[in-house]
């Protein structure tokens, strides 16, 4: 006779990390009556280094958890438009595009408050919160044994929601996130600034590209200001982001006008972001990774809160089914992985491809010209602006950018802009044409010289473009097949 011993579980699902991803997942699981325990080593409310911009999709997710009903939430700063600056000059200002079923605004919400609200909502639904740092875990055929500083817990499943330096993901893959999948960023809070409270601003400068700066108002005269840059770029530039940020505030005329007499409220602090890598696992037997732990950050805009809340909900939907069926092997978790690929794969791959191009700082003049071309078209064509802005804000599916009409408009604008530039220079006299041609030749020679000096850099850059383009092509083909 065989004896079946039912294991004693401390909880059905153990979630490591109580940020937006872990807390959303816990909220949706607890709503289904599933026993959930969240383990986080930080006492809440706690700060998290962030730009604090909560995009419209995340606002919708928060509303789904009833957080939009909180009085404190309603008092947070509403953002209805976004502006882009290049080398201190305003390029374009547009309203946040309207997308059906998604609010027409974002908010800037300090994480000290936002994360606490989501966590409290989960606890109110029945999730248990435990203080402790996960050290290690083992997956057995009948459950997961997780060890933290003060003891251990046995659960049916483990969810890694422990952020961009996830212990759960590191133990699963055996390594830290690769440098190519990292953005480094710093943020600072300023008071007594002059700003338009409903306008989020992004700044690019020719010297610090591919770095980008943000100015997100937290109220009528306060703002979250920061800078982010891909870690892996070449020619490799050792940058101190804190110095870069303070320098820009000092030198960029547009930012200086806003922050000039403002005061830094606290220290400038930094944190890495882990961007999307399609090869990074999202599931394993009895294990799911959500939010930053799963690398769910859009490399183009650094946004992660919407993907954290979305992936938390999607993971909860799949786990609920697994618990009902008592099936926890990786194949049973496939619906979660499928959802990520279907809903986010194309957008993330397009962002990765664009970022892979601009990693090559030698070609900065070219990338900035392309940005200029897109902005010039967007200024005059609202439909085009909605698509370009919607993609940048993570609101519109990026495959809209691949539509024939969008690409056609971009090419036409490109030809027009380049021809106008050449004509303007020619009108200044023959010397200018020579200078223009000379400039182009020098740029070409510089790039060729650098290619000969550092062929390895160019090779891995090119390989990155090819592999990202293949990923993108795969999503395009899948989209065509699904439509067909
Ligand atoms: C400088 C900067 C600016 C950003 N700006 C924006 C922005 O404006 N808008 C936007 O949408 N996104 C932004 N992001 C990204 C955003 O912050 C993240 O995508 C988001 O925080 C992801 O949420 P999460 O729940 O996955 O992880 P986190 O919010 O990082 O939460 C992880 C939790 O896990 C806990 N934890 C970690 N390790 C352990 C362990 N071993 N044991 C127990 N607990 C553990 C931590 O204490 C933490 O509470 C920015 C990121 C940075 C760094």
Nearest-angstrom CA–CA distance, 284 and 274: 19
Pocket of ligand 1, candidates 42, 50, 213, 214: which has the most ligand atoms within 8 Å of its Cβ, to mutate?
Answer: 50
Q: State if residue 50 touches ligand 1 by the CB under 6 angstroms criterion.
A: yes
Please give the mean pLDDT across all residues of the chain: 84
Nearest-angstrom CA–CA distance, 346 and 475: 6
In the prediction, which pLDDT does 480 show?
47
Q: Which atom of ligand 1 is nearest to the CA of 166?
A: 38
Q: State if residue 17 touches ligand 1 by the CB under 6 angstroms criterion.
A: yes
The long-range contacts involving 88-91, CB below 8 angstroms and separated by at least 24 positions, are 88/205, 88/252, 88/253, 88/254, 88/255, 89/254, 90/254, 91/372, 91/375
* Residue 192 zone, left/alpha/beta (φ > 0; ψ -120 to 50; rest): left
Averaged pLDDT in 10-residue chunks for the chain of 484 residues: 75 98 98 98 97 96 97 97 84 84 95 98 98 97 95 97 97 90 91 95 78 92 92 70 88 87 92 89 98 92 94 98 97 97 85 71 68 72 72 61 64 65 62 59 59 61 56 56 50
| Chain Cα centroid distance, residue 381 | 27
And the tokens for 15? 């979630």
CATH topology of domain 11-77+104-176+275-346: FAD/NAD(P)-binding domain (3.50.50)
Please report the ipTM that was assigned to this predicted complex. Answer: 0.99
Q: Where are the alpha helices (DSSP H) in 210-333?
A: 241-251, 253-259, 305-325
Residue located nearest, by CA, to atom 4 of ligand 1:
50
CA of 338 to the centre of ligand 1 (A): 23
The answer regarding whether domain 180-274 maps to CATH 3.40.50.920 reads no
**What residue ranges in 161-268 does DSSP mark as E strands?**
182-191, 199-204, 212-217, 222-230, 263-264
> What would the pLDDT profile of 295-310 be if each residue is shown by its tens digit?
999 887 889 999 999 9
In the prediction, which pLDDT does 363 show?
67
For the chain, the domains span 11-77+104-176+275-346, 180-274, 354-483
Pocket of ligand 1, candidates 292, 314, 351: which has the most ligand atoms within 8 Å of its Cβ, to mutate?
Answer: 292
> What would the pLDDT profile of 346-384 be if each residue is shown by its tens digit?
888 877 777 776 666 666 676 677 777 777 777 777 777
Please name every residue paired with 92 in a beta bridge, in sequence order, or none if there are none. 84
Residue located nearest, by CA, to atom 2 of ligand 1:
50
Going by their DSSP bridges, the two strands 77-79 and 53-54 should be labelled as unpaired
In the prediction, which pLDDT does 49 show?
96
Q: State if residue 273 touches ligand 1 by the CB under 6 angstroms criterion.
A: yes
């Amino acid at each position: 006779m065989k004896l079946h011993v039912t294991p004693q579980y401390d909880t059905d699902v153990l979630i490591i990390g109580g940020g937006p991803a872990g807390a959303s997942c816990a909220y949706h699981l607890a709503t289904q009556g599933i026993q959930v325990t969240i383990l986080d080593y930080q006492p809440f409310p706690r700060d998290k280094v962030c730009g604090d911009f909560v995009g419209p999709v995340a606002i919708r997710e928060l509303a789904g958890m009833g957080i939009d009903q909180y009085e404190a939430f309603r008092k947070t700063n509403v953002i209805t438009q976004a502006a882009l600056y290049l080398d201190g000059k305003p390029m374009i200002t547009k309203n946040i595009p309207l997308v059906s079923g998604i609010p027409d605004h974002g908010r800037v919400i300090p994480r000290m408050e936002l994360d606490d609200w989501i966590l409290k909502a989960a606890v109110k639904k029945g999730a248990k919160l435990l203080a402790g740092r996960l050290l290690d875990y083992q997956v057995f055929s009948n459950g997961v044994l997780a060890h933290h500083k003060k003891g251990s817990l046995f659960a049916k499943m483990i969810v890694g929601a422990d952020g961009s330096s996830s212990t759960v993901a590191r133990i699963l893959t055996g390594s830290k996130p690769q440098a190519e999948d990292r953005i480094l960023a710093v943020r600072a809070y300023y008071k007594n600034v002059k700003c338009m409270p409903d306008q989020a601003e992004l700044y690019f400068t020719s010297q610090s590209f591919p770095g980008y700066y943000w100015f997100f108002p937290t109220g009528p005269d306060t703002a979250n200001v920061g800078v982010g840059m891909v870690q892996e770029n070449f020619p490799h530039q050792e940058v101190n982001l804190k110095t870069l940020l303070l320098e820009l505030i000092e030198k960029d005329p547009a930012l200086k006008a806003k922050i000039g007499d403002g005061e830094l409220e606290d220290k400038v602090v930094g944190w890495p972001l882990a961007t999307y890598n399609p090869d990074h696992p999202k599931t394993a037997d009895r294990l799911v990774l959500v939010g930053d732990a799963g690398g769910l950050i859009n490399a183009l805009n650094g946004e992660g809160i919407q993907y954290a809340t979305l992936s938390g909900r999607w993971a909860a939907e799949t786990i609920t089914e697994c618990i009902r069926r008592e099936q926890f092997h990786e194949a049973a978790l496939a619906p979660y992985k499928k959802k990520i690929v279907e809903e986010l794969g194309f957008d993330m791959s397009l962002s990765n491809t664009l970022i892979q191009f601009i990693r090559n700082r030698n070609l900065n003049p070219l990338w900035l010209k392309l940005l200029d071309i897109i902005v010039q078209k967007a200024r005059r064509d609202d439909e085009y602006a909605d698509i370009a802005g919607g993609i940048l804000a993570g609101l519109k599916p990026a495959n809209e950018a691949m539509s024939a009409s969008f690409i056609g408009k971009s090419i036409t604008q490109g030809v027009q802009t380049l021809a106008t530039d050449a004509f303007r220079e020619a009108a200044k006299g023959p010397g200018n044409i020579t200078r223009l041609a000379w400039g182009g030749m020098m740029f070409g020679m510089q790039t060729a010289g650098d290619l000969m000096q550092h062929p390895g850099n160019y090779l891995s850059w090119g390989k990155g473009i090819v592999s990202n383009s293949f990923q993108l092509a795969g999503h395009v083909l899948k989209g065509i097949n699904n439509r067909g």
